[in-house]
């Protein structure tokens, strides 16, 4: 049966599955960051998501918004780098959009992704095309919106977001960096994907898998 709303438990499982997925790819993410950055991205993201999972486990019930808010806090407080602040802002803004909604549906979720992405753009002063996480986030929001318009529920929306995020992440290999540390070595990262965009693809893929599993179980 189609999953039409996201309760606290589903949101928590999304974070835990994202944490597991990123941990599995931690070394690859840090290697990508080492090409033109400082090589800490995989460790940063794995630590923040693991901390988010621990905090969510001990949290009382504040719905999906509470889970995303807690995740944002874990990014802000665990990770020093640029991506920690930016992912923290992403999850915080998404939580703001979901707050007060007892059972967020696919349209709330797409709106939350949009809010999160807009916050990242404002905070980091980067745009799609600059070889950053935005090159996966922006297409994911667009793909999710198109799936929503086509009448998809959460699983279909998340699958579309994941496909678009992965395409976006792959496309960063061909881009010269215009933001973040990598811009100081503009030629070095050509041919390599942006680590932050790759993390976004991994997170959305884990979420899509979680949603599809959830549908299959119902």
Q: Per CB under 6 A, which of residues 153..182 are in contact with ligand ADP?
A: 179-181
Asked whether position 33 contacts Mg ion by CB under 5 A, the answer is: yes
Cβ proximity of 80 and 109 under 8 Å = no
Asked whether position 138 contacts ligand ADP by CB under 6 A, the answer is: no
Q: Which is nearer to Mg ion, 17 or 132 (CB)?
A: 132
- Residue 177 is classified by DSSP as P
The encoded tokens of residue 139 equal 């297409």
- Residues that contact ligand ADP, how many (by CB under 6 A): 23
Query: CB pairs under 8 A, 24+ apart, for 207-211?
Result: 207/14, 207/17, 207/18, 207/158, 207/161, 207/162, 208/155, 208/158, 208/159, 208/161, 208/162, 209/17, 210/10, 210/13, 210/14, 210/17, 211/3, 211/14, 211/154, 211/155, 211/158, 211/159
State in angstroms the smallest separation of the CB of 75 from ligand ADP.
Answer: 10
State in angstroms the smallest separation of the CB of 80 from Mg ion.
Answer: 10
State in angstroms the smallest separation of the CB of 37 from ligand ADP.
Answer: 5
Window of 11-19, 31-39, 48-56, 103-111 that interacts with ligand ADP by CB under 6 A: 31-39
State in angstroms the smallest separation of the CB of 38 from Mg ion.
Answer: 4
Interface positions with Mg ion (CB under 5 A): 33, 37-38, 40-41
């Amino acid at each position: 049966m189609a999953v039409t709303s996201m309760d606290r438990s589903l949101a928590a499982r999304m974070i835990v599955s994202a944490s597991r997925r990123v941990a599995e790819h931690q070394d690859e993410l840090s290697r990508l960051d080492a090409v033109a950055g400082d090589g800490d991205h995989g460790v940063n993201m794995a630590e923040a998501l693991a901390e988010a999972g621990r905090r969510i486990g001990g949290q009382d019930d504040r719905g999906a918004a509470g889970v995303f808010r807690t995740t944002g806090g874990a990014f802000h407080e665990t990770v020093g780098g640029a991506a920690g602040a930016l992912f923290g802002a992403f999850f915080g803004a998404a939580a703001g959009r979901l707050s007060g909604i007892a059972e967020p549906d696919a349209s709330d979720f797409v709106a939350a992704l949009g809010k999160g992405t807009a916050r990242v753009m404002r905070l980091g002063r980067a745009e799609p095309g600059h070889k950053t996480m935005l090159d996966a986030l922006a297409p994911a929001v667009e793909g999710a919106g198109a799936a929503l318009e086509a009448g998809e529920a959460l699983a279909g929306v998340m699958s579309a977001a994941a496909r678009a995020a992965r395409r976006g992440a792959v496309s960063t290999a061909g881009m010269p960096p215009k933001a973040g540390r990598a811009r100081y070595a503009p030629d070095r990262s050509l041919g390599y994907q942006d680590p932050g965009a790759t993390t976004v693809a991994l997170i959305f893929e884990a979420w899509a898998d979680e949603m599809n599993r959830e549908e299959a179980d119902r």
